[in-house]
Amino acid sequence: MPSEPPSEYRPVSEEKSRALAGETPLRDALRDPVRVVVAGAGVFGRHHLRVLRELEAAGLGAVLVAAIEPDPGRAREAAAQFAIPVYAGVDELLAARLNANAACVAVPTVHHHAVASALLQAGCDLLVEKPLAANLDQAGDLIRKAEEKNRILQPGHLERFNPGVLAVEPHLTRPMFFEAHRLSVFTPRSLDVDVVLDLMIHDLDIVLTFARSPVREVRAVGLPILSPKVDIANVRVEFESGCVANFTASRVSTERVRKLRFFEPRQYVSIDYARRDVLVIRLDDAQPASPSHLLASLPAHARAAIPAPVAAALVSGALDLTKIDPALIAQFASTAGIDPTLIAQFTAQLQTPAGLAPGLSFSRPEITPAEPLRLELLSFLESVRTRRPPKVSAQQGRAALALALEIQSVMAAHAQRAGLGDFFKS
């Protein structure tokens, strides 16, 4: 019998999920907008500044009042671009008495605790970029301070607000196997943390949310490639429920991949975070397989890549998909960004007697296009106004951090056993 999921990862209702994603009416927003500051004007901070200014311009409940940035060059750029005062530190900001009541913390992870603590002490509700803190003691301290001050403390786990994730989450049954891939080309940002805290933690949070079970065992290996910290990692996590998850994260890849695939009873789900696209394959009663099924299951960008006369010929049967050179199919799939195994699977189905598929149906849940950061900030602002708990709780942020730190410990032990010390020489 599956063990009881930890309370911080119990599911919320579909209605509440929509509300927390910022879909509730914002009648009070125009009357009482939230005055927000952004701590950090680096890569992530500038995105927060941009979206907050867009929300302000649209009258959606935010007023961007200032930023904090110790780097003089970045401070000047932010001040000029967003026409706001930019202060070198929290003390200078507070001395200005701007009456800010919320803040987005997007400074390097090592400074999360100090900056967030000062802002909580000043009475600000906080959205803190992931990870919540550099270690569990700091995360716990922030949680205690937020509770003492009755402040909102929302970790910035952005993928929770990915339209693909929001479309899938209300319909989860019992996922038992996950495969997550998050690959990026190398950039000099976020080198204060390794690839687990930089990239993999997004998928750790999503899988913890979906699996809803305590972790039983972790196996992991990681290597530094272009930086002194681990740049590529592979992890296997087993949960008390029997669910298993495999994670691969790399910041030294030649391509950018953001995908999560999982299996649950009679169903396979594939989420492409980057395309904000979802494919669901269900095991149903046998049904006719036809080129029209194939076309309907393709992403919109893939269908658009097929010339209209070719699509019409496929549907009418004038063009036999099973007689097309597989190499051409693979080339098209690669160009259009489609998993070639899906097309190969459909081609095989078309070759079965009477065109009957072996009980598989393909569908793509309806997804409302939206920028995840915009949804995240709308959700945060709604929590600030209504005092409802945020969609991503501070305890959930701590749980994701705890798993990430356990993975780091297991990787370090593996490196020692395998004698990989020469890889870790800076």
Give per-residue pLDDT as tens, 209-258.
999 999 999 999 999 998 889 999 999 999 999 999 999 999 999 999 99
Give pLDDT, residue 248: 97
Least confident of 114-123, 270-279, 297-306: 297-306
Please name every residue paired with 246 in a beta bridge, in sequence order, or none if there are none: 179, 236
Least confident of 157-171, 323-337, 344-358: 344-358
Give pLDDT, residue 336: 67
Give per-residue pLDDT as tens, 23-58.
444 445 456 899 999 999 999 999 999 999 999 999
Q: Which residue has the higher pLDDT, 202 or 319?
A: 202
Mean pLDDT value across residues 364-385 = 95
3-state secondary structure 267-334: EEEEEECCCCEEEEEEECCCEECCHHHHHHHCCHHHHHHCCHHHHHHHHHCCCCHHHCCHHHHHHHHH
Q: How confident is residue 6, by pLDDT bands cut at 50, 70 and 90?
A: very low
Q: How confident is residue 193, by pLDDT bands cut at 50, 70 and 90?
A: confident
Q: How confident is residue 290, by pLDDT bands cut at 50, 70 and 90?
A: low
Residue 416 neighbours by CB under 8 Å, 6+ apart: none
SS3 182: strand
Give pLDDT, residue 362: 83
Least confident of 160-164, 227-231, 360-364, 394-398: 360-364
Average pLDDT of the residues of the chain: 86
Report domain extents, the chain. 7-156+372-391, 286-358
Tokens of 200: 């993999």
Q: Is the dihedral of CA 50, 54, 59, 61 positive or negative?
A: negative
Give pLDDT, residue 284: 73
Give pLDDT, residue 213: 96
Least confident of 71-75, 142-146, 156-160, 224-228: 224-228
Give pLDDT, residue 366: 87
Mean pLDDT value across residues 139-147 = 98
Least confident of 108-122, 168-182, 300-314: 300-314
Residue 83 φ/ψ, nearest 5 degrees: 55, 50
- Reported in sequence order, the residue ranges of 142-231 that DSSP labels E, i.e. its strands, are 153-156, 177-183, 215-223
Mean pLDDT value across residues 165-185 = 94
The answer to whether 86 touches 406, Cβ cutoff 8 Å, is no
Give per-residue pLDDT as tens, 92-134.
999 999 999 999 999 999 999 999 999 999 999 999 999 999 9
Assess whether pLDDT exceeds 90 at residue 288. Answer: no
Buried b (16+ CB within 10 A) or exposed e, 237-275: bebebebbbbbbbbbbbeeeebbbbbbbeebbbbbbbeb
Residue-level length of the chain: 426
Q: How far apart are CA 86 and CA 77, in angstroms?
A: 10
Give pLDDT, residue 425: 63
Closest CA to 264 of 354, 169, 349, 194: 169
SS3 222: strand
Give pLDDT, residue 9: 47
Least confident of 75-79, 185-189, 279-283: 185-189
Assess whether pLDDT exceeds 90 at residue 4. Answer: no
**Mutual angle of helices 201-211 and 394-417, in 10-degree steps:** 120
Q: Quote the DSSP letter at residue 338.
A: -
Give pLDDT, residue 418: 87
The answer to whether 232 touches 225, Cβ cutoff 8 Å, is yes
Give pLDDT, residue 426: 52
Give pLDDT, residue 135: 97
CATH architecture of 7-156+372-391: 3-Layer(aba) Sandwich (3.40)
Mean pLDDT value across residues 172-197 = 90
